[in-house]
Amino acid sequence: MSATLTPDVAEQLLRHVSGARWFGGKGRRAAVVSLTPLPWLTDLPAFFDGGGPAVRQEVVEVAYLDAPADDAAAPDAGPADDGTPEVTTPDGPLEGGPRELYQLAVAYRPAPHGELQAAEIGRWTDADLGPVVAYDATQDPTAAAVLLRALLAERRVGGDDAEVAFHLSAAEGLSPDLEPSVFRGQQSNTSVMFGDVAMLKLFRRLELGRNLDIEVHDALSRTAMSDVARLFGWAEATWTTTDPAGASTTVSADLAMVVEKLADATDGWDLALHALQAGSDFTGESRALGRALAETHAALRQAFPTDRRPGAEVAAVMAGRLAAARAVAPALDEHRAGLAAVFDALAERDLDVQRVHGDFHLGQTLHTPGGWKIIDFEGEPVKTLAERAAPDSVWRDIAGMLRSFGYAEASVPGPGSRAWATACREAFLDGYAGGPLDPADAGTLRAYEADKAVYEVVYEVRNRPEWVAIPLGALAALTGAVPHDPTPQHRAATAAPTDQGAQRPADTKE
């Protein structure tokens, strides 16, 4: 079910998509090559009678005319630029090139709406509606309410070769009259708040198949644990697509999820920085966060398959990532031998693996009056869906949080920052493990921390070169190049960021 895509509409869509925070192809030559409108969520007679906007979700396919930089070791192909992407028509030379799918929730109105000027996508003639002005439905309160009502009604709407289905898993507290308001912070998706009850997360860059965040929230919401937000429901779509060779395929993807809005929640990264800036003790919160992660891991073991993986295999993967990273960041060369020894320590043991968070740091947590809540289970954005869904070691998440405390230390340089971070790391580990780590576990954790720091080095080289001393300092400590305490960490005073509170760890995916 693909709409006729004129060069004018393609240009307007590309301008909107490429200018959005959630667009993943910044700085690349791109073209919109197809548009798949999903079924209408509103009655069209009401549109013509002046009863409100016509609302539907649409899938925009973007093709790239150039190859991305090698991203084997970092989430971004390179620093984004502010140049205007090249606009080409669907008839351009795009056969076989890389492609991505983006979702738009569109509110069509027959004439410009003054209050929605900033939300305008474009103006064209729609086959069903005639001349229209297209707006981002997440920024149109009337249109956003349509999405909530569709969930509450568990609607399943079909059209020519396409269907959208809304699944309701919990309804307590939800009502169709909850007032929507879009969250205007920078995100890789789009969030719409419904009163103080729920948050709708509209996925922008679509992946075919089940969304991991929905999958995990659905599984954990069925347990008695309280460390994640409750899942109210989600929306999925099935449609027919045509590949460059002309073959038709039926595909499906999750479009959005609605979760509990956590009252009086504070971002974990912000909370930690404020405590460090004030010189306040944060060990109680850190220990509780360790316990929350342990409880989450235990629930994930019950909900998803577990396995064992040879440590030598894991060490080989880490060594391969280091080799790819050294091509981007030559500063890693001096740590090559030390890192090889750290990774090789894994070869002497097998590792238990399970479903994990995969991208765990302070920015993926919220502190509420009821305790910590862990959010965003989609995993590292650089990895494929299959890689993110694959079982991994719990040490991946533990190492991510320890590195996050290191970034907090560097973000607020001062005489007490090192001791503060050390205390937080020790408390977090105590909360998770219930006591000191044995030598084998300590060695495994060191390897996972080093692997994460290698990832961070490449990220900083490509995006924030002035920050690269932070993960390099961590690697020096982890490999024994500089003295370190039993909880390895770094000191990057020469490159400490000055914008305190505004910076976040590498690979923050909001």
pLDDT digits (tens, 9 = 90+) for 364-383: 999 999 999 999 998 887 78
Angle at the Cα of 77 (from 76 to 79), degrees rounded to 5? Answer: 75
What's the mean pLDDT when you consider all of the chain? 88
**C-alpha closest to that of 467 among 505, 500, 501:** 505
Helix (H, G, I), strand (E, B) or coil at 212: helix
Q: How far apart are the first and last CA of the chain?
A: 32
Residues carrying CATH 3.90.1200.10, the chain: 266-495
pLDDT band at 485 (very low <50, low <70, confident <90, very high): very low
More confidently predicted of 355 and 504: 355
Taking only the tens place, the pLDDT of each residue in 106-130 is: 999 999 998 999 999 999 999 999 9
- What is the residue whose two structure tokens read 């509450």? 152
Cα separation, 173 vs 152, whole angstroms: 11
Averaged over 259-265, what is the pLDDT? 91
The string of DSSP letters for 69-137 reads PP-SSSSSSS----PPPPP--TTSS-TT--EEEEEEEEEEESS--GGGGGGEEEEEEETTTEEEEEEEG
Span 263-289, average pLDDT = 96
Looking at residue 96, what is its pLDDT?
A: 55
> pLDDT tens digits for 157-207?
997 789 999 999 988 899 999 999 987 665 789 999 999 999 999 999 999
- Which pLDDT score, from 0 to 100, does residue 381 have? 77
Q: What CA–CA distance (Å, rounded) separates 310 from 304?
A: 20
Whether residue 26 is predicted with pLDDT greater than 50 in this model: the reply is yes
Banded pLDDT at 244 (limits 50, 70, 90): low
Give me the half-sphere count of Cα atoms (radius 13 Å) on the Cβ side of residue 229: 27
* pLDDT for residue 149 is more than 90: yes
Q: What is the mean pLDDT of residues 448-461?
A: 96
Topology, domain 266-495: Aminoglycoside 3'-phosphotransferase; Chain: A, domain 2 (3.90.1200)
pTM: 0.83
The pLDDT value given to residue 507: 52
Whether pLDDT at 472 is above 60 = yes
Lowest-confidence pick of 310-319, 432-441, 491-500: 491-500
Asked whether the beta carbons of 144 and 156 are under 8 A apart, the reply is no
